[in-house]
Structure 1
Amino acid sequence: MADMFIDVPEGKDPILYVWGELVPGIGPAASAFAMSVYEHGTLGLREFESARLRIAQLNGCLFCQDWRTERDGQKVEETFAQAVEEWRTTRDFDDRTRLAAEYAERYALDHHGLDDEFWARMRAAYDDREIAELTMCIGSWLSFGRLNRVLGLDVACVLPSHVVGSGR
């Protein structure tokens, strides 16, 4: 795989190799944390996906942009990713969903700019537990999505539907 920046032994899955074998003292723990935001999260699907997709868009991680979280057989609508890009003006979002996208963007691009006005809006929409959970999720997506993108792993783990549709 010419787009990857890590040498992966022949026959090894790049994602499993990097996240599980290459750095055995860190990779499996990082993987467990990354998975825990999906397995143990309590945020609503739309807020969760709004923040997750905004980070994916900013990171540029192909896999993360293709992925759609499913909960109880439900996924967000096909047009959701476009609405996330247009979070400031879309009519498809309620206040919590819009605020989740805004928080994700500001967390990634200007965390020092999270001012009192922002936190007043955030605290009016989310309780402390939800704020902490959303912050941990955003931190995970920012870190691990960028790791995948920077090392070129997102090319190796693109969803099959994307590979077929794009000719990759």
Structure 2
Amino acid sequence: MIIDVPPGKDPILYVWGEMVPGIGPAASRFATSVYEHGTLGLREFEAARLRIAQLNGCLFCQDWRTEKDGAKVEEGFADAVTSWRTTTAFDDRTRLAAEYAERYALDHHGLDDSFWTRMKMHYSDQEVVELSMCLGSWIAFGRLNRVLGLDTACVLPSHVRQSRGPSHLT
């Protein structure tokens, strides 16, 4: 981790809540609001979120699965996101969400009329704005966590086991 965290402090809570009190809690509220107030369907939400997580390299975000109305995406969904161009597991909206996430993160200047024509066939203006705000949140905060090494402080158990190696799987 890049940031020195006082002994006994949770790294995530310390960085996001205490270090920059005028910004951190507001950023946390924005990041949380994406999950609490979003109206997008689970599959397109997760396709976009996971594609950003993959591009950011955030371990926690890659391992996390969003739950909506008691449902989560199926096992293997993250693999389908990786191969969003060719997977047969996605409908047009889900594929476009993954494509938009990748292009928003890597080539936002290349979002041309052809892309927007396809996007507007499947998404309303409100949904485009919501998805864009979600993407901005995930890029900013996933990268913040990754760059500062916070993603290793909040990883799910599967990544802890992987980092320790097979001898610690008991």
TM over 0.5: yes
Deviation at 1:78, TM superposition (A): 1.1
Distance across 2 between alignment mates of 1:72 and 1:142: 25
Which residue of structure 2 lines up, in the alignment, with residue 12 of structure 1?
9
Match of 2:114 in 1: 117
Are the counterparts in 1 of residues 44 and 97 from structure 2 also a CA contact under 8 Å?
yes
- TM-score normalised to structure 1 length: 0.96
How far 1:161 moved relative to its partner? 3.5
Equivalent residue number for residue 19 of structure 2: 22
Which residue is 1:97 aligned to?
94
Match of 2:127 in 1: 130
Q: Comparing 88-97 with 70-79, which one deviates more in the overlay?
A: 70-79
Given candidates 105, 109, 117, the residue that maps to 1:108 is: 105
Q: Which runs of no fewer than 5 residues in structure 2 stay unpaired? A: 166-170
Task: Give structure 1 stretches of 5+ with no counterpart.
Answer: none
Question: What is the distance in 1 between the residues matched to 2:10 and 2:161?
Answer: 19
Identical aligned residues as a percent:
81
How many matched pairs? 165
Q: Does structure 1 residue 52 correspond to structure 2 residue 49?
A: yes
- How far residue 159 of structure 1 moved from its aligned partner, in angstroms, is 1.1
Amino acid at match of 2:99: E
Conserved 8 A contact 2:59-2:159: no
